Structure 1
Amino acid sequence: MAYSHSPTERKYTIVGIDPGTTIGVAIIDLEGKPIEVFSSKNYSCSDVIESIISHGNPLIVASDVTPTPSMVKRISRIFSSPVHELDESLSTEEKVALTKGEGYEYKNVHERDALAACVNAFKRYKKKFLQVQRKTPAAVDVEEVKALVVKGVSISAAINRLIRAKEEKEEKKRVMKEEKSEKEEQKGGEGGVSENELRLRRIIKGKDEKIEMMKDLMTALKTELEKKESEIKNLRSKLDFVRSARRREIEETEEISWRDNEIERLRAEVKARDKENAELKTIIEELKGKKAVEVKGGKRIKVLPAFSRNAILDMERKYGIKKGDVIFLEDGSGGGASTAELLAKKGVVAVIYGKELSHFAAEKFFEFGVPAFSDKDMPSLFLKKESNGRGDFAFVDHQLLNRKIDEWRKKRERGEDKILFSL
């Protein structure tokens, strides 16, 4: 919202900014009077800066929230103007109250918030500004005193500084005027400067001032850009470091996980080996006779709980099956020709079986010359397991077994029976 305000020279201003998708900007003078209030969705930061410059020199930059938005801080740095910091954000009620009266007008909440920000900043310095007006001599620019006070200079020091500056300026002007008069006298009667020329000089002076302001702004923007580029470089360096550290952390985690799994696997393997070693130790002790149960007149034979390939291989792993062994099959019904052949090729001298023996198994034993006897043909008194309950060994009457084997072989030689299940 535009206000009729046409200063003859650039004045100091207080600027309120409400950044966001829609930017709100409000500008008031050091007496709290509105200069300009507007908002736009299409305004960039540079557009805002240009608009601020066109209405005067921003002495204070303000926001209605805390922490101060980055855009507000950036603009304050560009103009080297202090930010009006808040202890806490302004409430809606406070903003409405601040923008009532005094000729303040706005079209939307963005303009209201920006206007409330600069009015709130003005109220903070209002008493100090009134003191400045009372104490400042008529010959001293009140606004310049206010500007120095805002920057932390005391009122008296500010007045003295400006008086000295004015005296120096007047002295300089006097010298320049004298030099000019001398030059005009040397021209010898040339006509004076026309009104049109004076107007052009004023325009040029105004343009020169604006050019200087733009140069200062450009320098400030370049400094800001260099600072941002340095920050970006530092952030990229930090990001690379974090990524590298994270990558190493992931690799270490994967390595630890792999090692933990490997440790668990090895522990399980050691446990299995320990169990196997314990079994083998027991077997060795049994084979050495340390735990064997002796039966008078009995032959110690190995017991297969099942007539299967796995059972045969398991017995061979535990105790070994060597030539001359006698094997007792607790249940002979489970095996066939291939199972019988596997056992026969181990060199067993005889097989005793419980329950039934298949025709194919019996035929294969006969083919390999291995007599197979039913446990019914062996007196139960002489067929017993060891008392330790393991069931891997049993005892059979040695003499009876030898006699049965001899009889079986003689009958086989005579060809009396092709397959002998029992004698």
Structure 2
Amino acid sequence: MYKNTGSEGIKESNLIFKTQKSSRTTKGIIVGYDPGLTVGIAILNLNGELISLDSFKEIRRSEIISHIIGYGNTVLVATDVYPAPKTVRKIATILNSKIWSPYKNMSVESKIEIVDSFTAMGNSLNVPQNAHERDSLAAAVKTYKDHLNKFRQIEKRAEQLSMTQAMIDEVKIRVINGKSISNSLREVSQENIDNGYIGNLNHKTRGSSKSCHDKDVLKLSTKDPETPKVELSPEELTISRLKNKLSSQKRYINELREKNQELEAEVKFQKTEVSKFQSKMDKLRNEYSRKILEKREFASKISMIKRLQNKYSQERSMRLELEKQLDPNFGLETIGEDAVELKIITSFTREGIRESSLLMKISKGDVVLLENSEGGGSNTAAILCEIGVKAVITRDKISDPAENVFINCMIPVIPEDSIGIERVAQGSYVESEDLDGQIKKWMEKTRKQQTTEDKNKLISLVDEYRAQRRRELDS
């Protein structure tokens, strides 16, 4: 069901339509259409006369079509926006008519001006009662004005051919559908002659088809165009126009108030929605922050677990290494049978030698390793000579007096970095072959030095003896 906000016009127009359906030719109409929940429909005939102005709420499309075709053959469907809405295009397709829309959306001010100008030219019984009727009427009137020049040309030439109003409507329809004025006049005249509708018309008949557009005005009527119209004086027209304009302005103010109330309600609703979305955003933000904290905490715990695992692996490796070192037999399998154990002297002093001798049981023929030769001299070297060690391996350079003592005792002094020492468990070992090679090298080097020194001493003695003999001879 739908609500008709202007039902009187519809009832009267339906009576007209019933009469028209029995006529030979259906009159052409221009339909102004304002779509939406409430539909506005304005219908003009091709003489620019308003024959219906209504608005309907929650109306079905079939009811819209039924309402429109009751007034005639739709030639143009007019809209006040560009491009034409989808609903308007569908209505035009069903009515098999063209769509006429402005090159840009019509402003509210321009629509009010068009409607006020139109209603000021006749009675004000059919003044638009709401924005939907106003917009549809403005679209229909604007479309009619866009075609007015062609319509005037048609009427002027049709008057010369003594055409009836129905024939003039048919010519206008054909011109709107794309045919030329000349062809349309010729075709309509010929069709009516063939059908016997045109005979010898007298001057009176021709005079009765006078154009309704002698003045540049648009007629307003809710009845058949042939019904006599009331002539108004200029003052009455001015008063009527001003009253219509005042009424229109009041309606516009009421519309603005209603629109303002709607906008305030919309603002309130949007604020509520914004508040809801804000609450939702806060909740999501808190949830997001909580998840981030959980992820960070999780990542921190994973990192801690990895550190603990690495530390555990390191300590486990260290423990295994210590266990191996504590094992007295650890590493011995890697030492050859001819390996020589080194007796370690931590400090090259009398006390250090005594402690190491007790701990390591240093005896004749042992090879000792001096970890620190600092403080050692000829006396400490003489102790090792008395023990009768086989060789001395030094980690750093020993003093010259100590080295001279070892040379005199023919005890090889071998730098640690020149011989391979293997530390196994709690002991240090060298391969006997490697040790013998270093000892042999030291012996050869020392003998050469001693030979050179002996030779130099001999030469020095000979030179000294010769010098003494010369002094004796000279005296």
- Category of TM-score, reference length = shorter chain: 0.3 to 0.5
Larger Rg: 2
Structure number with greater CO (CA < 8 Å, separation at least 6) is 2
- TM, length-normalised to structure 1: 0.45
Normalised to the residue count of structure 2, the TM-score between the two structures is 0.40
